[in-house]
């Protein structure tokens, strides 16, 4: 009769096998969820990108009529100077309104709108490419292809894409600071420009670059492991 405490007893082997299978299934389940969410968001984004492209093409080709009034809404951050008060526990505390983020809206001529439309299209399709690379990366991981050269290349492409996006956003911010904000005049408030550095995008891009190097190292280690007899 087999002893229950013997590790070679088939009961323990079976339990161990089931436990490993459960762990594997759990991992697969969470990966499947991430994969499916990425797929859904990717296709929604693709649809939205095509819609935006179609709309911009329609405006360029005057498909919506000649009398269409187009406007530009440029996102910008402002430093505002405003004084107020805060009533708290019977005390009046003076407060200052210092910073706000919003959009500068203006009616635009066709040429001005054209430039803005191209800028928008570039951003939309760069994000589309980043999303596409990310989807491919997730799909590879989901299929168990982790330490592969394609994953290293995909991560590097995502990092470069984010760096391009960061550069465009920074250039836009500099452009607004030097060329738009000094010429803005509002009766009700005083404005001063603010260059947004967007360090978080730069940080993610640099992190992905480091991660891609780690993947490359992992690929080399796996190759070494594969050719170890």
Partner 1 sequence: MAIIVNLDVVLARRKMSLTELSSKVGITMTNLSVLKTGKAKAIRFSTLESICQILHCQPGEILEYQSDNQIKE
Q: Which burial class, exposed, middle or buried, applies to 78 when counting CB atoms under 10 A from its CB (0-12, 13-18, 19+)?
A: buried
DSSP-derived letter for residue 177 is: I
Q: Can you spell out the DSSP letters for 104-135?
A: EEEE--HHHHHHHHHHHHHHHHHHHHHHHHHH
**Interface with partner 1, residue 224, by CB under 8 A:** yes
**Interface with partner 1, residue 223, by CB under 8 A:** yes
* Cross-sheet strand order for the sheet of 71-88: 91-107, 71-88, 191-192
Binding mask 112-151 for partner 1 (x = CB under 8 A): ----------------------------------------
CB of residue 222 to partner 1, shortest distance in Å = 11
The residue (of 200 and 224) whose beta carbon lies closer to partner 1 is 224
The residue (of 187 and 224) whose beta carbon lies closer to partner 1 is 224
Q: Which of 169, 162, 124 minimizes the C-alpha distance to 154? A: 162
Stretch that binds partner 1, among 50-58, 84-92, 124-132, 219-227 (CB under 8 A): 219-227
Q: Which residue has the tokens 């983020």?
A: 101
Q: Which of 224, 220, 219 minimizes the C-alpha distance to 154? A: 219
Give, in degrees to the nearest 5, the angle at Cα 122 between 117 and 125.
Answer: 120
CB of residue 223 to partner 1, shortest distance in Å = 7
Q: What does the alpha-carbon distance between residue 27 and residue 32 come to, in Å, rounded to a whole number?
A: 8
What interhelical angle do 149-175 and 199-226 show, nearest 10?
A: 170
Q: What does the alpha-carbon distance between residue 91 and residue 87 come to, in Å, rounded to a whole number?
A: 6
CB of residue 167 to partner 1, shortest distance in Å = 41
How many residues belong to the site for partner 1 (CB under 8 A)? 5
**Interface with partner 1, residue 5, by CB under 8 A:** no
The residue (of 147 and 160) whose beta carbon lies closer to partner 1 is 147
CB of residue 227 to partner 1, shortest distance in Å = 4
The residue (of 66 and 224) whose beta carbon lies closer to partner 1 is 224
CB of residue 224 to partner 1, shortest distance in Å = 5
The residue (of 1 and 229) whose beta carbon lies closer to partner 1 is 229
Q: Which of 57, 52, 51, 104 minimizes the C-alpha distance to 76? A: 104
Stretch that binds partner 1, among 102-110, 130-138, 194-202, 220-228 (CB under 8 A): 220-228
CB of residue 149 to partner 1, shortest distance in Å = 17
**Interface with partner 1, residue 222, by CB under 8 A:** no
The binding site for partner 1 (CB under 8 A) comprises 223-224, 227-229
């Amino acid at each position: 009769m087999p002893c229950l405490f013997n590790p070679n007893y088939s009961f323990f082997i079976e339990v161990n096998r089931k436990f490993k299978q459960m762990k594997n299934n759990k991992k697969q389940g969470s990966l499947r969820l991430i994969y499916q969410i990425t797929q859904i968001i990717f296709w929604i984004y693709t649809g939205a990108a095509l819609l935006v492209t179609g709309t911009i093409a329609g405006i360029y080709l005057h498909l919506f009529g000649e009398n269409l009034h187009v406007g530009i809404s440029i996102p910008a951050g402002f430093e505002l100077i405003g004084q107020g008060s805060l009533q708290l526990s019977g005390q009046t505390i003076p407060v200052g309104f210092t910073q706000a983020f919003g959009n500068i809206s203006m009616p635009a001529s066709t040429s001005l709108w054209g430039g803005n439309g191209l800028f928008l299209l570039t951003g939309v399709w760069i994000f589309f490419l980043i999303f596409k690379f990310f989807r491919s990366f997730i799909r590879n991981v989901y299929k168990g292809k982790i330490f592969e050269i394609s994953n290293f290349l995909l991560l590097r492409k995502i990092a470069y894409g984010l760096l391009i996006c960061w550069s465009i956003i920074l250039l836009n911010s500099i452009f607004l600071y030097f060329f738009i904000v000094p010429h803005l005049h509002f009766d009700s408030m005083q404005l001063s420009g603010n260059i947004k550095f967007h360090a978080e995008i730069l940080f993610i891009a640099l992190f992905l670059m480091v991660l891609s190097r780690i993947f490359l190292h992992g690929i080399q280690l796996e190759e070494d492991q594969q050719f170890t007899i």
